[in-house]
Amino acid sequence: MQSEQILERFKQLYNTLDRDSLTFELLNAVYGDDIQFEDCFHNIKGIESLFEYFDNLYENVNYIHFDFENHWVDEDSGMLTWTMSYQHPKLNGGHLISVKGASQLDFKHGKVVRHRDYFDGGALLYEHIPLLKRIIFFLKNRLA
């Protein structure tokens, strides 16, 4: 399978993935058994652990969507930029939150074997928790 096809399957996965559609088979169609997933909050190894992570993550998310903007691929890796929009009942008063980010992917045998996300953890989570929001904005203003 060519890199462009793997990337398209990846994008399709993330635009259909939610708490109702998540299955082990859905993830396993895109990710290899020994997937290494990393972001600023987690470092996950193995498809079973990744499934558990997504199962917990999507449990309380009311809405999630990715707008993929740009991508670059070569023979065994790819990079794409995106804007994720999501709603969680305990964050931002349940209103939509949008965060820009990028995913770096490595491919082997037609699947993603390494997935590293880059995004601002504060913009994703911390700035939408009332007490932390005030502290973060105070610190940002002091450093500006």
pLDDT of residue 126: 45
Query: Is 80 a domain residue?
Result: yes
| pLDDT value at residue 42 | 87
CB count within 10 Å of CB 138 equals 10
Provide the CA 77 distance to its chain's centre, in angstroms. 17
**CATH code: domain of residue 59:** 3.10.450.50
Residue 25 lies in a domain: yes
Phi, psi angle pair for 22, to nearest 5°: -65, 120
Answer yes or no: is 76 within a domain.
yes
Per-residue pLDDT of the chain (144 residues; tens, 9 = 90+): 699 999 999 999 999 988 889 999 999 999 999 999 998 888 999 999 999 999 988 888 888 999 999 999 999 999 999 999 988 887 777 788 888 999 999 999 999 999 999 987 655 554 545 555 555 555 555 655
| Three-state DSSP class for residue 33 | strand
Domain membership of residue 97 (yes or no) is yes
In a domain, 106, yes or no: yes
Q: pTM value? A: 0.82
Residue 56: partners with Cβ closer than 8 Å, 6 or more residues away: none
Closest CA to 41 of 56, 28, 31: 56
Kindly report the backbone phi and psi dihedral angles of residue 59, in degrees, each rounded to the nearest multiple of 5, phi listed first: -55, -40
Residue 129 is assigned to a structural domain of this protein: no
Q: Number of folded domains in the chain? A: 1
Instruction: Tell whether 127 is covered by a domain.
Output: no
Judge whether 54 lies within some domain. yes
Sign, CA torsion 126/91/115/67 = negative
Domain that holds residue 96: 3-119
